[in-house]
Homo-oligomer: A and B are copies of this chain.
């Protein structure tokens, strides 16, 4: 029941939203990997709050401090620990929700699980703030993978009922970079504008909207993964459900394949430039849990931010009486917007772990 994962690249996330710091301890990073700090900060900035009108107003520097594992900007083979101190916190805003739990939040279940000592100020360890350390190690993993020709990109596939275009059959690093530079990160700018309108409208109505993030991994060698419980889908799914608000994960055609016929869904094999490819990618680049050399493509469904300003029905768990709450504080009206880089981070961590499991020294 822990905030830890990985087989070779083992990450252990810690921190509460309004505690001293959030951070991550990482075992198993290969030695001798340079970390481009500027690139890392740019990546982390994509998930940072306060970046635009459609995200929360909380402003944080999110500057990681490396306590170990990194010397002169290069991994030294030993465990890495990076922390981000919490500075801009206003706990007063959040007092009392373990008594009158917010609908859609972990207030109620956290108290059941951890008892009265639980620190749920600002969402505690359940806060989206915990995606910052995921982005530290995810950003480092992205750099290590990029050095080996493996690139990961994501975009906001849907928000507030508006659909972005899908990734093409073979997305490129350039497309990833273009999309990453946009806010929201979309392929189709018109769709992006309409999303922004819907999100701002929801915020104006003290409400929030859900969304979908689509992510692709390109350059991944074929033959990575395995059957049953430890394949690419299993491990990505396990990790992706660790991102707050994720309620669904699908690969390739995903749920749409339920309505397809085999003759439509099967991806025919062909030879292209001397390489075996598939002419469609309904499998999302994965057959039998193993990569087939096509881009690995997945989508995650994000529920609307549960913290909304409207009056909501709840229960006072101490008196067992009905109660109403109006949530104050600063919240993203669409958590999916800032989840785009987080999806990339989580994918990078899992993919790097799987590759290190093949060759621990990073010689893949």
Residues of A that sit less than 8 Å from B by CB: 1-5, 7-8, 10, 12-16, 19-23, 25, 27-28, 31-32, 65-69, 71, 74-81, 83, 101, 103-106, 108-110, 112-119, 124-126, 130, 158-159, 161, 202, 207-212, 222-231, 233-235, 237-242, 246-271, 274, 276, 278-279, 282-284, 287-292, 301-308, 310, 312-315, 317, 320-322, 336, 354, 357-361
Contact = CB atoms under 8 A, between A and B. Distances in A.
A3 B271 contact: no
* Nearest 4 pairs of A and B residues by beta carbon: A106-B288, A77-B114, A248-B250, A1-B226
A207 B255 contact: no
Contacts of A68: 14-16, 19-23, 125
A106 to B, nearest CB: 3
Given A118-B76, A257-B301, A287 B108 contact: yes
Nearest to A314: B269
A40 to B, nearest CB: 17
A145 B302 CA distance: 31
B104 A19 contact: no
Nearest to A325: B269
A199 to B, nearest CB: 11
Nearest to A315: B269
A301 B226 contact: no
In the complex, the count of this chain's copies comes to 4
B80 A308 contact: no
A108 B276 contact: yes
A216 to B, nearest CB: 16
B233 A241 contact: yes
Given A212-B255, A233-B241, A292-B108, A71 B119 contact: yes
A268 B314 contact: yes
Given A25-B25, A108-B287, A161-B259, 9 more contacts: A1-B230, A2-B79, A106-B288, A109-B288, A202-B262, A210-B257, A210-B258, A237-B240, A266-B312
A279 B312 CA distance: 12
Contact of A76 (B83, B119, B283): B119
Contact of A290 (B67, B109, B248): B109
A158 B238 contact: no
A210 B32 contact: no
B210 A268 contact: no
A230 B2 contact: yes
